[in-house]
Amino acid sequence: MTIEKQVEAVRPLTELVEDERIFRDSVYEFADREIRPLVRDMDEHAKIPRDLLTKLFDLGVMGIEIPESFGGAGASFFHAVLGVEALSRVDPSIGVLVDVQNTLVINALMRWGNEEIKRRFLPRLASNTIGAYALSEAGSGSDAFALATRAVEAGDGFRLTGRKLWITNGNEADVFIVFANLNPDAGYRGITAFLVERSFPGFTVGTKEDKLGIRASSTCELLLEDCQVPRANVLGEIGKGYKVAIETLNEGRIGIGAQMIGLAQGALDHTIKYTKERKQFGKAIADFQAVKHQVARVAAELEAARLLVYNAARLRDAGQPFLTQAAMSKILSSEVAERMASLAVNLYGGYGFVKDYPVEKLYRDAKIGQIYEGTSNLQLETIAKQIMG
């Protein structure tokens, strides 16, 4: 790789090219106009309005990397990261909906799907169909390969039996990437990825979780009882589902990093505005050095996290190794998001603790960043292995 391409791969925020800047700003303008008025109601009712989902498809953010020949935007992974960040600045629930659609579901189909699978599914995912990624189970969280869901061959297809938990987009999705073990004796080498449609016999979307944060984003259990899946719906190779899972989640962690820096930026926006308006002892609290320095420190941390996220995304698009950078970006961005949201609540004072003001929701939303798509401890272990051998 030439020096010029290396520089291109890590180009920072201040050097976004024109189309990237326009894309990011247009997505944020959409979010500010169409999503912000709905945020509190979506949080209270734990539901995303169907017409908002339609608008997201119309905007083009539900199929960012899908080639134009399949109805998508034909843009880069970096564009997907910018879109998730911009949406999460207004509502992290919408950010993660779009993130899972792009960095997990579409990403997996683009990399592992054969031409027939791409032809059948990508146009739908670009236009009107939401996808979900079903890996986690009751006994399979950080140990993602301790899967209990089983697949057996049956005629010209397979039957899947098991229960998946914590599945983002479960309530809205019509297509699910489901991981099941076809050969338990082979351990993780028996894991296979299947494309399951909501209409398949034996498939049911179960309980929706009542969550602390990102409440509008549905998190559901999936029940598979001899669910019939045709052989043509195997994603990748039989027994190679572990590769689909690992490589997709590595990219997905960059998407969660984007969600978290968007959340942190939203909390910072609210904080700056409020501290200029709130007066104590005859002047705005933004004029107090203690307040200014707290905000300045977290703003610096946010910029560092943003550059880590952008760098990881640039490296991925450039075809360079990015595993360490993805783990670093996720752990730092999730920690910064929690600190920024906590500071926002503190500086709002009593108002920060009530639902009439926006920052208590962001504080609740921030916690999940250190848990899903690989806990902080798992990210630290990944980083340690990479840098220490």
Q: How large a percentage of the chain has pLDDT more than 90?
A: 93
Distance separating alpha carbons of residues 23 and 199, to the nearest angstrom = 35
Span 3-130 CATH architecture: Orthogonal Bundle (1.10)
The pLDDT assigned to 18 comes to 82
| Dihedral sign computed on CA atoms, order 304, 306, 311, 312 | positive
Q: Does residue 10 surpass a pLDDT of 70?
A: no
Mean pLDDT of 303-313: 97
Q: Does residue 6 surpass a pLDDT of 60?
A: no
Task: Determine how many CB atoms are found less than 10 A away from the CB of residue 148.
Answer: 15
107-144 CB burial, b ≥16 within 10 A, e <16: bbbbebbeeebbeebbbbbbeebbbbbbbbbeebbeeb
Calculate the average pLDDT of the chain: 95
The pLDDT assigned to 366 comes to 98
Residues whose CB falls within 8 Å of the CB of residue 243, separated by 6 or more in sequence, listed in order: 236
Q: What is the pLDDT of residues 83-121, one digit of tens each?
A: 999 999 999 999 999 999 999 999 999 999 999 999 999
Q: Which residue has the higher pLDDT, 17 or 262?
A: 262
Q: What is the CATH number of domain 132-239?
A: 2.40.110.10
Given the residues 34, 197, 373, 381, select the one marked as catalytic.
373
Distance separating alpha carbons of residues 316 and 328, to the nearest angstrom = 14
SS3 129: coil
Q: What is the pLDDT of residues 203-241, one digit of tens each?
A: 999 999 999 999 999 999 999 999 999 999 999 999 999
Residues whose CB falls within 8 Å of the CB of residue 357, separated by 6 or more in sequence, listed in order: 348, 351
Q: Does residue 372 surpass a pLDDT of 60?
A: yes
Torsion angle, CA of 306/307/309/312, rounded to 10 degrees?
Answer: 180
User: pLDDT band at residue 15, thresholds of 50, 70 and 90?
Assistant: low
Which amino acid would we find at residue 8? Answer: E
Mean pLDDT of 250-254: 97
User: pLDDT band at residue 17, thresholds of 50, 70 and 90?
Assistant: confident
Q: Does residue 319 surpass a pLDDT of 80?
A: yes
- 195 CA to centre of own chain: 20
| Dihedral sign computed on CA atoms, order 20, 26, 27, 32 | positive
Q: What is the pLDDT of residues 179-213, one digit of tens each?
A: 999 999 999 999 999 999 999 999 999 999 999 99
Task: Determine how many CB atoms are found less than 10 A away from the CB of residue 78.
Answer: 26
Mean pLDDT of 8-24: 68
User: pLDDT band at residue 3, thresholds of 50, 70 and 90?
Assistant: very low
User: pLDDT band at residue 80, thresholds of 50, 70 and 90?
Assistant: very high
Distance separating alpha carbons of residues 294 and 344, to the nearest angstrom = 10
373 is catalytic: yes
The pLDDT assigned to 169 comes to 98
For the entire predicted model, the pTM comes to 0.94
User: Domain 243-388, what fold?
Assistant: Butyryl-CoA Dehydrogenase, subunit A; domain 3 (1.20.140)
Q: Does residue 145 surpass a pLDDT of 90?
A: no
Domain boundaries of the chain, sorted by first residue: 3-130, 132-239, 243-388
